[in-house]
Chains A and B, each alone.
Chain A
Amino acid sequence: MSPGIALLRQFKQRARASQLAFARNSGTRVRSTPFGQIVRFSGGSANFSHPWLPTLSGNGCTFQQGHVNNFPATIKGVPLDGDDSNPQPILELPNPLMLDTSNRGFLCVEVTCDPAHDWSIIKAEMVQVANPDAEDGSGDVYNPTGAAKPLKNNRARWPVALLRQRADDRIDIYEPVHFDLTHRVKFFPDNTTPQRHFFY
């Protein structure tokens, strides 16, 4: 084989090796320059499957399992990721949604404490409300001291997701909380009446 033909074969091999034999589809971009072809992919969003991660589905919402003081949150008594007897529960959202005057609502974890046992949590239910500090969950948020206000029957709510209803009735969801929660109660000077509930 002559040296010229061998050299030509090398060139052809290099050309094949550098040939872009793929179909450009969505997410793929190729930019040609005299010094080469630059290929870029559109990056997807990072997978951050965290506690309380909400997923809207139809008229309901499911959550990744979350805990408050290591107590698992539930929907009608079923853990958020289901158990041996029940599939993953769905929080049925009210129709219409409970929204404030800004078309904003919250998905909250509502804890019930037991005063006889150091105010430990005995129940953690997911609910949808407009105002987490209101007994009936309605109205605009009004809390100038922060933390969570105590509710009747030793309860308190803390939002784990925010809902925004757009003008076209589309609902967008945002997640302010990404980790399991810790809870404690602050009392009035009598040490028996709760003043505020702290979630952190």
Chain B
Amino acid sequence: MTRREYEDHIRARTIRPGLFCQQVNTPFGAKLRGYGHAEWKHPWQVTCDCALLPDGTPQWRATIEPGFSLPGGDAYITMQPDWEGFDPGVSNEVSIKSSKDRVTSPTPVPLTNDPVPYLVIDGWRNPAVSTSLKATDSGDIIYDAAEGYPPYFQQLGVVPPSKGGENGDAAYDPSRTCQIRAADIVLTQPRMGTSLDYTSSLNLAVGQPIQTVQTLFSDANYAATAGRATLTAVGKFSPPQAASADTQTLFGLLLQGNDPEYEQWHIATVWMVSPPGADPASNPDQTWTPHPQHFVFWNIMWATAIAEDKTSAPAQLSIPLPPEDQLLIGSAVALSSEALSELSALLDMGSARASYWTL
């Protein structure tokens, strides 16, 4: 063996500690010590991977560590009928129900299921380009600044975000040619909702109108969804509309109410970074790298702002007048009484918006 070969031999035998490995060299051999622990996966932790469909199309999937929304239990993901976990040959609690009848419609699957479900992420937004614009009085089109992304991605060579103005595209920087896309993972929790019931009647004895307003409680959406908290992937998360308790002042609109009977909470954002020089119009494929950003790290407990109070009676709004005056001004009072009742209802209407806390 020549000296060169000996050196190559030694180099090839050199120990390089890898993952979870500590090395202590001694003249008699290297001591290797395994240390530490696997990365702790917190509730709602997102792990992304790219699967290739039979036709070769890449599909990004997010697997989520079991998270709980209490009261209730673990969250669910709606899986399509062709999911392998629905196979009657697979032993799990979901297939118990599907063993006799083949699953033919999207079905919610709990995160604690075995096999675990996954979210298909197929709707991406581009945070580096402007998505909104406005026209000035002079007819010019002005683009708003792009949403942007965390500063961490600048180090990875992601294209600079658009600052808006006359051009909504991302700024050009030859040293930063990686594309970026994003999708949000949202938890939807059904809950009780509220609306107002408004009735108007006439007291024939005195010709005085009586308006009755009461808060109605509805659990229709909760019952329809069995109270399951559901995870979905959306292009961009927007909080659900609150019940109309803001500035509506037209008759009737105050009482329409648009309580969606659910809450949505932003769990995580999945950022995807392309290799350098990717086509600005491309979508994430197997060459892209996922970077999940989490906003919730613990299990969730939630409660609505109010609960149904079965002891309260409907509010009756009327203006008491002497009997001899009732007929005379009853009709005139009706209009203002109706406005008063709407205002009172607006002030007294309970919002069932839910809040969550983590533990």
Contact of B191 with A17 in the complex, beta carbons under 8 Å? no
Give the shortest distance, in Å, between A95 (CB) and chain B (any CB): 19
Question: Given known contacts A167-B93, A172-B114, is B10 in contact with A198 (CB within 8 Å)?
Answer: no
Decide yes or no whether A104 CB sits under 8 A from chain B. yes
Tell me the residues in window 157-200 of chain A with beta carbons closer than 8 Å to chain B beta carbons: 158-159, 162, 164-168, 172, 174, 176-179, 181, 186, 188-190, 195-196, 198-200
Contacts of A19 in B (CB 8 A): 13, 29-30
Contact of B72 with A189 in the complex, beta carbons under 8 Å? no
Contacts of A48 in B (CB 8 A): 40
Give the shortest distance, in Å, between A34 (CB) and chain B (any CB): 6
Contacts of A31 in B (CB 8 A): 18
Decide yes or no whether A49 CB sits under 8 A from chain B. no
Decide yes or no whether A125 CB sits under 8 A from chain B. no
Give the shortest distance, in Å, between A79 (CB) and chain B (any CB): 22
Contact of A141 with B18 in the complex, beta carbons under 8 Å? no
Decide yes or no whether B299 CB sits under 8 A from chain A. yes
Decide yes or no whether A140 CB sits under 8 A from chain B. yes
Question: Given known contacts A167-B92, A174-B68, A198-B303, is B311 in contact with A39 (CB within 8 Å)?
Answer: no
Rounded to whole angstroms, the CA-CA distance of A33 and B10 in the bound complex is 12
Rounded to whole angstroms, the CA-CA distance of A187 and B7 in the bound complex is 80
Rounded to whole angstroms, the CA-CA distance of A35 and B352 in the bound complex is 64
Decide yes or no whether B37 CB sits under 8 A from chain A. yes
* B-contact bits for A36-77, CB 8 A (1 contact / 0 none): 111111111111100000000000000000000000000000
Rounded to whole angstroms, the CA-CA distance of A20 and B31 in the bound complex is 9
Contacts of A18 in B (CB 8 A): 10, 13-15, 25, 30
Contacts of A104 in B (CB 8 A): 73, 110
Decide yes or no whether B226 CB sits under 8 A from chain A. yes
Decide yes or no whether A86 CB sits under 8 A from chain B. no
Rounded to whole angstroms, the CA-CA distance of A158 and B32 in the bound complex is 46
Contact of B311 with A188 in the complex, beta carbons under 8 Å? yes
Rounded to whole angstroms, the CA-CA distance of A162 and B8 in the bound complex is 57
Give the shortest distance, in Å, between A115 (CB) and chain B (any CB): 18
Decide yes or no whether B71 CB sits under 8 A from chain A. yes
Contact of B190 with A164 in the complex, beta carbons under 8 Å? no
Tell me the residues in window 2-57 of chain B with beta carbons closer than 8 Å to chain A beta carbons: 3, 6-21, 23, 25-30, 32, 34-40, 43
Give the shortest distance, in Å, between B24 (CB) and chain A (any CB): 11
Decide yes or no whether A154 CB sits under 8 A from chain B. no
Contact of A143 with B6 in the complex, beta carbons under 8 Å? no
Give the shortest distance, in Å, between A124 (CB) and chain B (any CB): 16
Decide yes or no whether B237 CB sits under 8 A from chain A. no
Decide yes or no whether B324 CB sits under 8 A from chain A. no
Tell me the residues in window 73-93 of chain B with beta carbons closer than 8 Å to chain A beta carbons: 73-74, 91-93
Contact of A195 with B307 in the complex, beta carbons under 8 Å? yes
Work out how many contacts link A and B, with CB atoms closer than 8 A: 200
Rounded to whole angstroms, the CA-CA distance of A66 and B123 in the bound complex is 43
Closest to B114 in A: A166
Decide yes or no whether A96 CB sits under 8 A from chain B. no
Contact of A144 with B20 in the complex, beta carbons under 8 Å? no
Rounded to whole angstroms, the CA-CA distance of A158 and B21 in the bound complex is 42
Question: Given known contacts A22-B32, A46-B38, is B112 in contact with A174 (CB within 8 Å)?
Answer: yes
Closest to A31 in B: B18
Rounded to whole angstroms, the CA-CA distance of A133 and B19 in the bound complex is 46
Select which of B18, B39, B304, B309 is within 8 A of A40 by beta carbon. B18
Decide yes or no whether B348 CB sits under 8 A from chain A. no
Contact of A40 with B222 in the complex, beta carbons under 8 Å? no
Give the shortest distance, in Å, between A24 (CB) and chain B (any CB): 11
* Extra pairs beyond A17-B30, A144-B219 (17, CB < 8 Å): A15-B6, A33-B12, A34-B11, A36-B14, A37-B15, A39-B15, A40-B20, A41-B19, A141-B227, A144-B304, A146-B304, A159-B70, A162-B73, A164-B110, A166-B114, A174-B68, A190-B311
**Can you identify 22 A-B contacts, CB atoms within 8 angstroms?**
A7-B3, A18-B13, A27-B34, A36-B15, A37-B15, A38-B18, A41-B32, A41-B34, A43-B38, A45-B38, A104-B110, A106-B73, A141-B72, A144-B191, A144-B227, A145-B307, A167-B92, A167-B95, A178-B359, A186-B307, A195-B307, A199-B359
Q: Chain B interface (Cβ within 8 Å of chain A)?
A: 3, 6-21, 23, 25-30, 32, 34-40, 43, 66, 68, 70-74, 91-93, 95-96, 110, 112, 114, 190-192, 219, 222, 226-227, 298-299, 301-304, 306-309, 311-312, 352, 354, 357, 359
